[in-house]
Structure 1
Amino acid sequence: MSGPLRRLSTTARETSLHGGQGPWKQLALLKTNSAVRTCGFDFGGNIIMFSTDKQMGYQCFVSFFDLRDPSQIDSNEPYMKIPCNDSKITSAVWGPLGECIIAGHEGGELNQYSAKSGEVLVNVKEHSRQINDIQLSRDMTMFVTASKDNTAKLFDSTTLEHQKTFRTERPVNSAALSPNYDHVVLGGGQEAMDVTTTSTRIGKFEARFFHLAFEEEFGRVKGHFGPINSVAFHPDGKSYSSGGEDGYVRIHYFDPQYFEFEFEA
């Protein structure tokens, strides 16, 4: 099969989002003064970072707790707290080797913060509006951002050098990199408050697939009846999932022609 695919064929299963009980045990409870926007464990599973919103008179902070130190948990005091004075953090992930975190901001900036000193190691601004999502490649050498400025962008994880741009006509809420193909999937749509029944009929909520090197779209997958808030590839690259404002998670298994497809620029 040659040439860009106009419609990407998949099979899908839908799962409604319902609460449930499980064999989980709470290990710690950390209290904050405002809403928590992002969180994540380092790769050793010992340090957790999270960012809080600027609201109710409180400043935006990134906090770091070492879970091996019970005194930090008991006192609710992190070993490091970084203030974000200019633009609140809207997405964040741990960088390579857990030496830093990469944070996206409401104003479109990207910062790399040292996990040891809190120092800003690198600062860039390639987006013009809020960064909604950051996801790393499997080898952690690259990451992709999703933004309200209608684009997703590829960056080098160490230098934050901008590599590629994937353009759409609507806000991008989430983007993910395939673990074994040069593919990126984007999900988005309008702001939730702008969604109408007309929008659902004209297909504004498709997952869109781009070639990583050529920056060109080669396929779309329909299914959601509202903006797509999150996308993720399975670690084996044979499927992907999407979560939407419509209250459904859709799990898509790629058909055989997806693996045989060769992109021609």
Structure 2
Amino acid sequence: MKPILLQGHERSITQIKYNREGDLLFTVAKDPIVNVWYSVNGERLGTYMGHTGAVWCVDADWDTKHVLTGSADNSCRLWDCETGKLGKHKVHAISAFSFGCLGFWGTEISRDWAQSVSLFLLPQSGEVLVNVKEHSRQINDIQLSRDMTMFVTASKDNTAKLFDSTTLEHQKTFRTERPVNSAALSPNYDHVVLGGGQEAMDVTTTSTRIGKFEARFFHLAFEEEFGRVKGHFGPINSVAFHPDGKSYSSGGEDGYVRIHYFDPQYFEFEFEA
């Protein structure tokens, strides 16, 4: 797989996110820049300027009319996707805004850098319905499956875990030797991609080989690793599958975003248990 390299940030990538159709890829970083790219060729479509601190998260609404960002400048901004202008609406809840990793079907999964995952009842009372603690260290990322029946978590405890979205029942565990910063579920296959690596503060003292900065692919049912993709020169902070499952992207501590279109062999691959 020869990747398409996107270089539009001056600092480490914090999150990447496809819109629902998959034609656009939004990227944010520890700089105040929000970029949007054509996913098919990596051409930069535009930049949303206005934040004054690192931007931690980004998401587009169902029909890609608006883009929501959250920043270290203590603001949450709603942008017009086409013009880049700030919206005049008030943002009431991310779960009502997007069917992304933070909310679905009237429920919301907390992502507060804790070690547990909670299911909340919205909007009636906000009471906690279920709380599970399956990780021993902080959770770095939560992403839903395409049909929203499952979600995967990524943790500093060197694991990613699969949960049932309704009951929060723990289903599977994917183990590595380094902290996992992000994990995503394929929309077409029983595959999970994990991104992570050595702690960013220790990167300068370790070679890229020892740092284990590859994207790692696991089988969803068998919990076994079957492939790795190298390329980043630091930990991978965010991974995302394209909605059609034919490619995936990764954003790293090195400031690069890499779009990987799968080779034909990927679609012919059959896992041997």
- Paired residue for 1:16, among 7, 14, 37? 7
**Structure 2 CA distance for aligned equivalents of residues 197 and 25 of structure 1:** 35
State yes or no: 1:233 paired with 2:241. yes
- Paired residue for 1:160, among 159, 168, 183? 168
Structure 2 residue runs of 5 or longer lacking an equivalent are: 10-32, 36-43, 79-87, 94-99
**Structure 2 CA distance for aligned equivalents of residues 127 and 114 of structure 1:** 23
Bigger shift: residues 105-114 or 227-236: 105-114
**Structure 2 CA distance for aligned equivalents of residues 255 and 46 of structure 1:** 32
Shift in alpha-carbon separation, 1:109–1:35, aligned structure 2, 3 A: farther
The structure number with the bigger radius of gyration is 1
Structure 1 residue runs of 5 or longer lacking an equivalent are: 1-9, 66-72, 81-91
Deviations 1:104-141 (A, max 9, x none): 34331101122213111111000011110011000000
State the match for 1:137 in structure 2. 145
Question: How many residue pairs are counted as aligned between the two chains?
Answer: 228
- Paired residue for 1:169, among 163, 173, 177? 177
Shift of 1:191: 1.6
**Structure 2 CA distance for aligned equivalents of residues 79 and 175 of structure 1:** 27
State the match for 1:193 in structure 2. 201
**Structure 2 CA distance for aligned equivalents of residues 162 and 16 of structure 1:** 37
**Structure 2 CA distance for aligned equivalents of residues 200 and 244 of structure 1:** 13
Q: Percent identity?
A: 70
**Structure 1 CA distance for aligned equivalents of residues 115 and 226 of structure 2:** 27
SS in 2 for 1:93: coil
Deviations 1:76-130 (A, max 9, x none): 7x868xxxxxxxxxxx933332x01101343311011222131111110000111
Q: Tell me if structure 2 keeps the 8 A contact 1:14–1:250.
A: yes
Q: TM-score, normalised by structure 2?
A: 0.70
Deviations 1:217-257 (A, max 9, x none): 00000000000000011111111110001111111111111
Map 1:1-265 onto structure 2 (within 5 A): 10-18=1-9, 93-97=101-105, 99-117=106-124, 118-196=126-204, 198-202=206-210, 204-265=212-273
Shift in alpha-carbon separation, 1:24–1:169, aligned structure 2, 3 A: closer
**Structure 2 CA distance for aligned equivalents of residues 138 and 240 of structure 1:** 14
Shift in alpha-carbon separation, 1:43–1:156, aligned structure 2, 3 A: farther
